[in-house]
């Protein structure tokens, strides 16, 4: 009830900065997809919808000496990325904060950072099913075990479409296991200069067919036995960041506790459909 909840300075307020710092660090470390897609910062008061102009591919023509160049019109399309909030909260009791042997502040930051990173990655990997190009087969081939042929086919289709690299492949661990179990030394040893954080270091499998390959459970299986994975160039998907992690507190005196609420504001969207290939395959380990 209104009289029981007081929005005022609490014992956690002076610890907010360390919580936010830890949460943002963990979110950055745990996120694979954020580092592989096009990022757009959105300033305050800029509106909830970010409009991204999409430029069509252009073709140069041969010229005749001293003749004028024939000018052509460039017509752009656009993609809208709508910002939305995600959040997580917990209740920290005075007893826990004052007498716990654990580092409550670090635990909160880790908890919140991992939750935001997981949600962001899952929102981005869910866009894989929107790619209209398939590496092999079609949307019904969800029970086919993944092989290296899927990667070679995906790379060939992207290159044939003139999609600029580098190419990234992000896979459910159970899906890519079916390929790894049949391979020995095929992967190029890890040496990717783009591997900049823990998630990318730990999730980086290797490179094959010119594709840097990552595995993460944030490619969620769409059924008990299959998952839609993706091979794409950076400009295939967009992430608009309206607000990085924000953490606020609200004191509940009657409960002798403080609510700690974490939110972030972002939006995701497919930008270039031809820049991505979906790989629906079996996601069981056998």
Give Cβ neighbours of residue 197 (< 8 Å, ≥ 6 apart). 28, 29, 31, 35
Mean pLDDT of the chain: 81
Q: Cβ(112)–Cβ(88) under 8 Å? A: yes
Q: What is the pLDDT of residue 58?
A: 65
Could you tell me which residue, 85 or 58, shows the higher pLDDT? 85
Enter the pTM of the model: 0.81
Per-residue pLDDT tens for 42-56?
888 777 888 777 666
3-state secondary structure of 19: helix
Neighbours of 24 (CB within 10 A): 19
Task: Kindly report the length of the chain.
Answer: 286
Per-residue pLDDT tens for 240-251?
999 888 888 888
E strand segments, 176-256 = 204-208, 211-215, 226-233, 237-252
- Residue 253's pLDDT band, with cuts at 50, 70 and 90, is confident
Q: Cβ(231)–Cβ(276) under 8 Å? A: yes
What are the angstrom distances between the C-alpha of 251 and each of 19, 39, 93, 111?
A: 17, 36, 10, 20
- Is the pLDDT at 63 greater than 80? The verdict is no
Q: Cβ(278)–Cβ(135) under 8 Å? A: yes
- Is the pLDDT at 1 greater than 50? The verdict is no
- Residue 137's pLDDT band, with cuts at 50, 70 and 90, is confident
Could you tell me which residue, 61 or 243, shows the higher pLDDT? 243
Among 26-30, 111-115, 118-122, 238-242, the least confident range: 26-30
């Amino acid at each position: 009830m209104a009289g029981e909840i007081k929005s005022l300075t609490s014992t956690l307020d002076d610890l907010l900065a360390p919580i936010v710092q830890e949460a943002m660090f963990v979110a950055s470390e745990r996120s694979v997809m954020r580092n592989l897609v096009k990022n757009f910062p959105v300033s305050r008061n800029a509106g909830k919808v970010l409009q991204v102009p999409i430029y069509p591919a252009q073709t140069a023509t041969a010229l005749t000496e001293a003749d004028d160049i024939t000018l052509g019109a460039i017509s752009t399309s656009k993609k809208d990325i709508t910002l939305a909030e995600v959040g997580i909260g917990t209740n920290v009791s005075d007893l826990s904060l004052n007498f716990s042997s654990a580092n409550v502040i670090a635990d909160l930051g880790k908890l919140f950072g991992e939750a935001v990173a997981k949600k962001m990655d899952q929102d981005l990997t869910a866009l894989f099913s929107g790619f209209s190009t398939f590496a092999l087969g079609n949307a019904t081939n969800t029970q086919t075990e993944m092989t290296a042929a899927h990667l070679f086919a995906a790379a060939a289709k992207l290159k044939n479409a003139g999609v600029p690299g580098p190419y990234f492949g992000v896979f459910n661990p159970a899906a890519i296991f079916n390929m790894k179990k049949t391979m020995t030394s095929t992967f190029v040893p890890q040496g990717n200069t783009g591997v900049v954080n823990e998630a990318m270091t730990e999730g980086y499998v290797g490179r094959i067919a010119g594709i840097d390959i990552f595995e993460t459970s944030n490619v969620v299986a769409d059924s008990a036995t299959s998952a839609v994975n993706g091979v794409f160039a950076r400009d295939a998907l967009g992430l608009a960041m309206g607000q990085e992690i924000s953490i606020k507190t609200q004191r509940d005196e009657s409960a002798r506790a403080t609510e700690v609420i974490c939110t972030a504001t972002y939006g995701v969207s497919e930008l270039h459909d031809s820049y991505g290939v979906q790989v629906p395959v079996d996601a069981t380990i056998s």
